[in-house]
A and B are shown apart, each in its own frame.
Chain A
Amino acid sequence: MTTREAFDRDLHQLQDDLLRMGALVESALDRALEALRTRSVQLAEAVIAADNTLDALHLELEERCLRLMATQQPMAKDLRTIAAVWTATIDLERMGDHAEDIARVVLRIAEQPLLKPLIDIPRMAELVRGMLRDGLDAFVRRDTALAQQMAARDDEIDHLYAQIFRELLTYMLEDPRNIQRATHLLMVAQALERMGDHATNIAERVIYMVTGTLKELNV
């Protein structure tokens, strides 16, 4: 195997591990939402425990990125690829933390009935999941067009977040006893909104990796 082949293999492994992190985040998001829907303490605790795996993978990937840069002294596109993986792992790690935040909310409200049926929150989660998948797909396929589309979807998430905020506010104004439960749901919505932003960051990294220009998608 030539040095180049070995390096390409290393890069591919790096990328596969990035996808592994993405898969963990996706599963954490799904399970956190399921825990919220069924108010399952057990599931919420599983989400919190799984975040350790994600953190460990993040540290390992970070170290491998550094080592590749130090030992291979990559140039141009190779360097950008490694840098993009590195920053994307940071975004994924943060997304995992937000999924954990949702699970922690579930632990606090497991005993009470939900303030209102979940409608917009699952919709937000579905959008986040789609953005995460497409962001990573764009990464793998170096698909800048797909990455560009992410901005519009993040707008949709922000829009839903504003809607949820207004709705929960009316509940709180209506009856102060609703404030606690409404705040918890608001925390969930905010975690999802943050996750959408991080997914957009990953899309920005894809564009940077391919074109070499850093562009703010989320304006």
Chain B
Amino acid sequence: MRLGVLLARAFLAVAVLAAGAVVIGVALAGWPGRWPHLALSLAGAAGISAAGALLLARRIAGIVRRPFLALRTAAESGAAGDLRPAADGSFAESFETIAAYNSMVKHVADHLAALQVDKSTLESILTQMSDALLILDPTGALAMVNPSAERIFGVTAARALGRHPIEVFHHFELDALMRRVERERAAVRAEIELQYPDHRILRVQANPVMGPQGAFLGSVVVAQDITDLRRTDEIRQEFVANVSHELRTPLASLRALTETLRDGALQDGDAGPRFLAHMIAELDRLTLLVSDLLDLSAIESGSAHLHMAPVSVEDVVTDVLAKFHLVAERRRITLRVDGLGGLPQVWGDETRLAQALANLVDNAVKYTGDGGTVTVAGQDRGDLVALSVTDTGLGIPAAHLSRIFERFYRVDRSRSRALGGTGLGLSIVKHIATSHGGRVDVQSTEGRGSSFTLLLPRAEAGSAARSVERP
């Protein structure tokens, strides 16, 4: 950068020397002697050459400096963040320098662009990841809080950054975990329960970030929300426990009956046939339970193939009610139908719909006292067709209403078993309804009766939706 100035100074020196010659020439001219003309002309030549040298010096200096100035301008603007090649300086020897500089600029610019892409990729990953991510600096203050962490912990990044985790999360175990990472410089893993803002169970993994030479650069904490996972796990465990229990009860009873028969009851003309009848009843219960379980698992897993077609609700109701006439008559229960004529067809699997309705009617009849009424009513509700089964029975206490569709959930265990239920009926109804794109609702008043309503898509709406799904 200073080279041009240096060159200019060198030429200036030559010019000064030339000027010195002029002075000498003039002095000689003034000296009366033999070569005044020579002295004068010498002085003149020296003067001209001095002026020429000055001009030349400035010009050369200019030529030499230009590319370096261009380089300087480019470098300065680069330092200020605007990386661009230097303008061509056209001084032969500096071409290579400028070319080298320009290639460096291109390299750095490409590199920066790549970094920018990397950075935005990373940022979008961190922003969009469903796990909460916290980054702590070496002093233990929060340096980053991603949106999932904001949501899960109920905090805002703006208020969290730069503060210690205990100030932000108010959570003892979470804070203790982070401090342990800092202290031990080792990964820590734990499960943490949040009560605020929602009840959640988090699987937290915290890692130290170590720099070269073992410098501690902070820690990274990732928290995965496993609340649903845990809940599913609990449901599964409950289910296994329930199934085992349900299977064991009839098995124990069968075993007791068999042993009694072996120990002599077989020869007893009165007890023998009675015990055998008991055994058949227990076997029926086992068979029913197993077939309900298989049905449920098939519908739930979606492996049960539904033969979808337009179905006449009235036909289904007539078929199902036919099976209940005998028992209804015996217990003086009135079976009524209402509003079924002129009801639009629904889109569904006739066998499954009949099964769902049969389960509802079966429950209604079971829980209605002798002399009561069970009403099956239809209603056109636009896109949906409502089919309700209303009884005048015991009703369901409000506290149980939200849970009765759960597998094996019973309002009154002993009563339900005495009536021969498997505890799966309503669960099957619910799954049949949802697999049809419908749902089942319940309304009940204790002591007054219950009303279950199946809501099913009508045939036109259902088939239209399907044809949109598969063009």
Contact = CB atoms under 8 A, between A and B. Distances in A.
A31 interface: yes
Given A16-B164, A23-B175, A30 B195 contact: yes
Interface in B154-196: 164, 166-167, 169-172, 175, 195-196
Nearest to B170: A23
B167 A140 contact: yes
A22 B170 contact: yes
Contact of A20 (B172, B195, B196): B172
B386 to A, nearest CB: 31
A26 B164 CA distance: 18
A138 to B, nearest CB: 12
Chain B at the A interface: mostly helix, strand, loop or mixed? loop
Contacts of B199: 34
Among B164, B169, B170, B195, find the residue whose CB has the most chain A CB atoms closer than 10 A: B170
Contacts of B171: 23, 27
A31 B196 CA distance: 11
A140 B164 CA distance: 11
A136 B168 CA distance: 11
A19 B195 contact: no
Contacts of B167: 16, 19, 140
A114 to B, nearest CB: 11
A125 to B, nearest CB: 11
Nearest to A12: B164
Contact of A34 (B166, B175, B195): B195
Given A20-B172, A20-B175, A27 B166 contact: no
Interface string A1-38: 00000000000000010011011101100110010000
13 contacts: A16-B167, A19-B166, A19-B167, A24-B172, A26-B195, A26-B196, A27-B171, A30-B195, A31-B195, A34-B195, A34-B199, A129-B196, A140-B167
Given A23-B169, A26-B196, A140-B167, 15 more contacts: A16-B166, A19-B166, A20-B166, A20-B175, A22-B170, A24-B172, A26-B170, A26-B195, A27-B172, A27-B195, A30-B196, A31-B195, A34-B199, A129-B196, A133-B170
A6 B330 CA distance: 90
Interface residues of A, number: 15
Chain A at the B interface: mostly helix, strand, loop or mixed? helix
B279 to A, nearest CB: 38
Contacts of B170: 19, 22-23, 26, 133, 136
A88 B199 CA distance: 28
Nearest to A18: B166
Contacts, number: 32
A27 B199 CA distance: 12
Nearest to A22: B170
Contacts of A136: 170
B402 to A, nearest CB: 14
A140 B163 CA distance: 10
Contacts of B195: 26-27, 30-31, 34
A56 B305 CA distance: 63
Contacts of B169: 23
Contacts of A20: 166, 172, 175
Contacts of B172: 20, 23-24, 27
Nearest to B399: A117
B166 A23 contact: yes
B191 to A, nearest CB: 14
Contacts of A31: 195
B140 to A, nearest CB: 9
B320 to A, nearest CB: 38
A133 B197 CA distance: 12
A134 to B, nearest CB: 11
Interface string A86-98: 0000000000000
A19 B170 CA distance: 7
Contacts of A140: 167
Contacts of B196: 26, 30, 129
Interface in A108-150: 129, 133, 136, 140
Q: Which 8 A-B pairs have the closest CB atoms?
A: A30-B195, A23-B172, A19-B166, A23-B170, A24-B172, A16-B166, A140-B167, A23-B171
Contacts of B175: 20, 23
Contacts of A22: 170
A27 B170 CA distance: 9
Nearest to A53: B172
A100 to B, nearest CB: 16
Nearest to A21: B172
A20 B167 CA distance: 9
A140 B169 CA distance: 13
Contacts of B166: 16, 19-20, 23
Contacts of A34: 195, 199
Interface string B195-217: 11001000000000000000000
Contacts of A19: 166-167, 170
Contacts of B164: 16
Contacts of A30: 195-196
Interface in A173-198: none
B195 to A, nearest CB: 4
B163 to A, nearest CB: 8
Contacts of A129: 196
A16 B168 CA distance: 11
Nearest to A139: B167
